[in-house]
């Protein structure tokens, strides 16, 4: 007999390797990013509540530097403009209008864009071909030409600006919605609903549209940033917000001639636009990940 057969002791069981703990890095980053980004957006939304008073002009305090530079005072933390107005107060006041334009501009663009893309992607046929040609034609036109044509005819005002944002933003929303709807309409649950005799309107608005929630969230947040950038560009060219109203884009335009003497007049509005658009896009990405189970699993 072999030595192994004579040994009365039971053979030791081979220890199984310890189970690997699932990675939680991305989950942790996600749950950390959502509150951080939400807090950052809320900080920029505070001007909407009107917590700070309107600022006036003091010609004896023109072009004062920010408080962290020589010659600056904490009475004007971000300095003063060329007419003596406090830059921080004007930044907050203009932020109310800029944020409002971003939100309303996103709604007027994403509303018709999602509806047109949904109908084109689901029903296909001749309507889809016509809508696709219109989308391609719209995307081929520079938005500045559309803005010039409309504003030169109607004048500069907030309703005209919202019309420009709607006409320049619906096509991109419609294209993305159409492509997503094309894949959803071929899924098994849609085919099953057709088989049991559900109406097309019920399938579209009760089943297909809710499955576009993640896409709509992403489009909405991206369109908010796009609307803010378009308004800033138009105001910089003198085609957007006109006095006595003020936005970050108009502040940027008023400070372009002062860059050599008072750079802070244009720097802080430009920084505010950059940070706000970045925060909105990050928040939209976090919300899209939260509502998309496939991204959560990855």
Give 10-residue mean pLDDT values along the chain (298 residues): 49 49 48 56 54 57 79 81 82 86 91 92 88 89 84 85 90 90 88 86 88 84 88 84 83 81 86 85 71 55
Q: At what angle do helices 158-184 and 125-140 cross, to 10 degrees?
A: 130
Point out which residues pair with 86 in neighbouring strands: 80
Q: Measure Cα distances from 130 to 121, 126, 172 in Å.
A: 12, 6, 16
47 exposed, middle or buried (CB, 10 Å; 0-12, 13-18, 19+)? Answer: buried
pLDDT at 25: 44
pLDDT at 4: 45
Cα distance between residue 56 and residue 64, in whole Å: 15
Q: Measure Cα distances from 139 to 17, 107, 129, 146, 171 in Å.
A: 57, 19, 15, 11, 7
Q: State how far Cα 219 lies from the chain centre.
A: 7
Answer yes or no: are the C-beta atoms of 221 and 281 closer than 8 Å.
yes
Task: Select from 269, 245, 286, 199 the least CA-distant residue to 97.
Answer: 245
Number of C-alpha atoms within 13 angstroms, CB side, residue 28?
Answer: 4
Specify the DSSP class assigned to residue 84.
S
pLDDT at 36: 56
pLDDT at 244: 78
Answer yes or no: are the C-beta atoms of 240 and 250 closer than 8 Å.
yes
pLDDT at 83: 77
Give the 3-state secondary structure of residue 80: strand
Specify the DSSP class assigned to residue 204.
I
Cα distance between residue 102 and residue 230, in whole Å: 9
pLDDT at 279: 81
- How many Cβ atoms are within 10 Å of 227's Cβ, its own excluded? 29
Residues with Cβ within 8 Å of residue 273, at least 6 apart in sequence: 98, 228, 229, 232, 248, 249, 252
């Amino acid at each position: 007999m072999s030595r192994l057969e004579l040994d009365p002791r039971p053979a030791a069981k081979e220890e199984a390797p310890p189970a690997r703990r699932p990675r939680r890095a991305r989950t942790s980053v996600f749950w950390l990013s959502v509150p951080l980004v939400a807090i950052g957006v809320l900080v920029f939304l505070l001007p909407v509540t009107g917590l700070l008073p309107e600022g006036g002009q003091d010609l004896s305090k023109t072009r004062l530097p920010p408080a962290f530079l020589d010659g600056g005072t904490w009475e004007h933390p971000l300095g003063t403009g060329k007419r003596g107005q406090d830059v921080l107060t004007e930044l907050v006041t203009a932020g109310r209008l800029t944020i409002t334009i971003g939100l309303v501009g996103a709604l007027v663009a994403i509303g018709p864009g999602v509806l047109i893309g949904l109908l084109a992607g689901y029903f296909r046929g001749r309507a889809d071909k016509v809508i696709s040609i219109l989308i391609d034609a719209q995307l081929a036109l520079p938005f500045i030409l559309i803005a010039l044509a409309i504003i030169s005819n109607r004048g500069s005002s907030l309703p005209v600006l919202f019309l420009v944002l709607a006409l320049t933003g619906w096509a991109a929303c419609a294209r993305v919605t159409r492509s997503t709807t094309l894949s959803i309409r071929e899924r098994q649950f849609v085919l099953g609903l057709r088989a049991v005799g559900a109406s097309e309107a019920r399938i579209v608005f009760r089943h297909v549209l809710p499955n576009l929630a993640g896409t709509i969230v992403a489009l909405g947040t991206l369109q908010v940033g796009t609307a803010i950038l378009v308004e800033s560009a138009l105001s910089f060219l003198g085609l957007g917000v006109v006095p006595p109203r003020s936005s970050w884009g108009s502040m940027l335009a008023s400070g372009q001639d002062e860059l050599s003497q008072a750079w802070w007049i244009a720097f802080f509005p430009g920084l505010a636009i950059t940070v706000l658009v970045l925060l909105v896009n990050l928040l939209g990405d976090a919300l899209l990940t939260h509502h998309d189970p496939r991204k959560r699993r990855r």
